[in-house]
Amino acid sequence: MRCPRCGHADNRVVDSRAGRDGDVIRRRRECLSCRRRFTTYERVEEELPLVVKRDGRREPFERQKILTGILKACEKRPVSYAAIEQVVDGLEAEFQSSGEKEVSSVQIGERVMAELLKMDDVAYVRFASVYRQFKDISQFVEEIKTLISETPERPSKP
């Protein structure tokens, strides 16, 4: 680890502490050259699969993209940020533990829609409209009809 002030590579660890969630180690270091102290964070490097896009491109898995999509779908809806974070955490863990080297963006989108359907019907339709690239109002109507016909056993939400 290089000193951010002088660039010297030699330093010593002055203090180590576990982060809030226990998944990060915070280390306080001191440069042996200029004596400046600085903080570093150490975490396990997670092996997440590559995402295969519809056009065949491959990109690294990005948790933030899923979070952003769900946040947009849930905007001005009675869904807490904590609930959204929990869904994203679960999806990330699911894809990480699958052991697959690649996952299609279609699989990710379908899993997100399944989770949104459990959380909020309006958020589900919003996400589906973008994900499935609805071209006109008739596609919205069809999706809503399907949603209504397939969900009579679900309890109504307050």
Q: What is the pLDDT of residues 27-69, one digit of tens each?
A: 999 999 999 999 998 877 667 899 999 899 999 999 999 999 9
pLDDT of 158 > 50? The answer is no
Q: Given the structure tokens 């150490």, which residue do they identify?
A: 42
* Residues 24, 19: Cα–Cα separation, whole Å: 5
Region 122-150: mean pLDDT is 80
Region 4-20: mean pLDDT is 91
Beta strands across the sheet bearing 37-43: 11-18, 24-31, 37-43
Per-residue confidence (pLDDT) for residue 141, from 0 to 100: 79
Percent of the chain residues topping a pLDDT of 90: 59
Per-residue confidence (pLDDT) for residue 1, from 0 to 100: 84
Which helix (H) or strand (E) segment holds residue 104: the answer is strand 102-104
